[in-house]
Each structure stands twice: as structure tokens, then as C-alpha cells.
Amino acid sequence: MIFISKNGEKFVKCESVEFKDEEEFRVMLLRLIEEDRNLLLPVSLEGKRPSILLLTKEFGVSSGSIDLLGIDSEGFIYIIETKLYRSSERRRALAQAIDYASALWSEYSRDPNIFIEKLKERQDFNLSEEVIENVKDNIRNGGLRLVVAMDYIDETIKNVINFLNEMCEFDVYALSLERYKSCDNLHVLIPKLYPESPPIVATIGPKKKMWDWEAFSEDAKKKGFSEAQLDALKRIYDFSTEITKGRGGVRWGAGKTYGTFRVFMEDLFDGKDIYIVGSNGYLQINFANLYPISFETSENTHKRIELVNKFAEQLYNVGILSELITNENYKEAGKSFPNIKPEKWMDKIEDFKKVVMELISNM
């Protein structure tokens, strides 16, 4: 029990009260989050706390429906599984959250834009371009935060969470929501997040990886690429660093499964990535990044659309896009982020370089 008073006067006793069912618990949790958008979120090591920008119920993935899915102001993705402690299913709550995380990553990591489009169907979608780009990075690289929300969190659950945070790519939290009620119908809810800040890994383990060319090429070797394929990766990397020198450079991903580098120029295409290369051999062309943000009628807008369509057409003509699109609809590539298999582009490096150089020189 707890005691509360108003203005330090008479204390009122509040007894612990169980939630009627999981749905009532979820409704209460949602109401609290609406009141305080920071409720679910860990304080950063610098003492800052982001806020939830989007929260949606019953987000469907291949393995079922995520109870609550949230996006915070830093672009982290929250998978929230709700359970009551008295439920016989409570021990499966973490396993269920991990299953949903796996399904979410499997379905959208190759093309995060599909995930963004699905989020846009929700009424409260109001994410900025910067947050959207962070969300895409996190869905590609497993930047997920799993939250098990229950009315009571015991030491066993905390121990499992500590273990998972030590060993896994994603971060795991528990949110307890204790409920009390007075005889005159005063309700008290006490939320507690564990851990309160992002977990610090005490040992060198398989947490997020910082990639560079050495780690990238070594990972490609482990994946069984031939000398010719490794040479193709080196040639596209050298080309990428050359064309972006002094204009932004390449950005390395932080994924655990494979490495990526992103190619962009600060003065072109609003600083968006033009293409991404993975140590798994895939080449992603970010046509949709290159299209103008606004489709207002103007000479520059029309020119940019024509350039992107020409870029897609040329990649089709040299055989890089031929497996993904037909000659009749290559212009539709301008609205997509196609992932190209290594066998479709690695023997066409010189063609690719020429097409990219023409795109850049015409901007």
C-alpha cells in the first residue's frame, strides 16, 4: 500500500489493485504515454531523454501483431509487448518481443521505405526527414528497443534483461506499472523503467559494430566472396571515396549482421544517400532519395526528375536493373530503393561508374 496527501494534510491510504485484464492494462499505459511522451524512454548517458513521436497499436508483422510500436525523436524503434504478471504467458513476453523484432527486421531491413510507408498510414505520423532517415538506419541495422510492459517486474525478468543487453544487438527494457486505489476512488499509477538509461556493455561482446574498410572487406571474405568479387567491392569503395572527397564522404553503418557504407554529397540531392553498398554484396540504389522533396512546378524540379529517370534508364540499359524492372517501367524506379544482387552489378563496375559520374556532372 501507499499513502498520499494533498498539500501535506490528511493522508489517504491506497491499496494495490490488479488490472482486470491485459486490455485494461494496455489502455491505462496508452493514456499515461499520451500524458507523458517520455514515459517509455531511457535517459541517455548525457542525461537527456528523447520523446515518443509516434505510437501505434497492433502493428502487424509476419509472426503476429506487435502490441504497441513506437518511434522516438532519435529514430529508435520500440517494440512493446504487454503482459500481466499473473498471466501464465508472462515468461514468454520477452521471447514474443524478440520474435516480433526478428520479423520486423526480416520484412523491412532490405527496403526500409516500405516500413515508412506503412507508418504513414497511421493518423499521428509527423516524423521529420531527419528522424525518418534515422528510422531507416535503425531498421537496417537492428537499432530496435524491446520493452516488456507488465504490472510487476521480478528479479528473474531483470536478470534475463541484463543478459540480453550484454549479448544482443538490440536493447531490452522492462516497464512496470503498479496500480493503487483509495476507498474514495482515487487512482494512482506508478511507472518504473528498468534499466533507466541505455545499457552499458561491460565486456567486448556482439553489440553494435563500428565498421571501416578493413572490417568491411574481412566480413566480405568470411561470406565467401571470390577474389573478383572482393576486387569489385574495393573498386566501388575507391570510386565512392574519390567522388565524395570534400563533399561529405562515405558513412559507415553500425550493423551487426553485415557492414554497409553510404555514398552521399552534401551539396547534391539535399545531402541524401545516392547508393549503399553492403559487405553481403548487395548494392542499393536510392532513387527515391534523389527525387525532389517537393513536386511543385519549376524548371529545377523537372530537370531533377528527368535526371533521376535518365539515371534509372541507363542502369537498366547496362543490365544492372534489368532483373528488377522492365524497359516500360524504369521511370517507376525513381520512387523506389531497389536492392541489386552482387551477380547483377559486380561485373559492371565501369558501367556503373560512368552512369553515376554523368548523374553528378549534370546536377
State the average pLDDT for the chain. Answer: 81
CB within 8 Å of 347: residues ≥ 6 apart: 228, 232
2-194 — its CATH code? 3.40.1350.10
Question: Cα–Cα distance between 353 and 243 in angstroms, integer?
Answer: 10
The better pLDDT of the pair 287, 325 is held by 287
- Predicted structure pTM score: 0.55
Nearest to 171 by CA among 151, 191, 188, 147: 147
Identify the band that residue 72 occupies on the pLDDT scale cut at 50, 70 and 90: confident
pLDDT of residue 129: 83
Nearest to 27 by CA among 74, 99, 95, 82: 82
User: Three cell numbers at 174?
Assistant: 522492462
Question: Cα–Cα distance between 211 and 278 in angstroms, integer?
Answer: 11
Q: Hey, how many other C-beta atoms are within 10 angstroms of the C-beta on 262?
A: 22
Identify the band that residue 184 occupies on the pLDDT scale cut at 50, 70 and 90: confident
Domain residue spans of the chain: 2-194, 213-361
DSSP string, 133-202: HHHHHHHHHT-EEEEEEES---HHHHHHHHHHHHH-SSEEEEEEEEEEEETT--EEEEEEEESSSPPPPS
Asked if residue 205 has pLDDT above 60, the reply is no
DSSP string, 240-304: HHHHTTTTT-EEE---SSS-EEEEE-TTSGGG-EEEEEETTS-EEE-HHHHS-S---S-HHHHHH
SS3 helix, strand, coil % of the chain, rounded to 5?
Answer: 40, 20, 35
**Least confident interval from 164-168, 261-265, 295-299:** 295-299
Nearest to 273 by CA among 289, 293, 288, 255: 289
In total, the chain counts a number of residues equal to 363
The better pLDDT of the pair 91, 173 is held by 173
Among 7-11, 63-67, 289-293, the range of highest mean pLDDT: 63-67
**Percent of the chain's residues with pLDDT above 90:** 16
**Least confident interval from 65-74, 148-157, 264-273:** 264-273
pLDDT of residue 277: 92
Cis peptide bond N-terminal to 195, omega within 30: yes
Asked if residue 81 has pLDDT above 80, the reply is yes
pLDDT in tens, 294-333: 444 566 777 888 888 888 888 888 988 876 554 455 555 5
Q: What is the mean pLDDT of residues 150-168?
A: 82
pLDDT of residue 242: 95
Asked if residue 228 has pLDDT above 90, the reply is yes
Strand pairing of 144-150 and 77-82? parallel
pLDDT of residue 192: 85
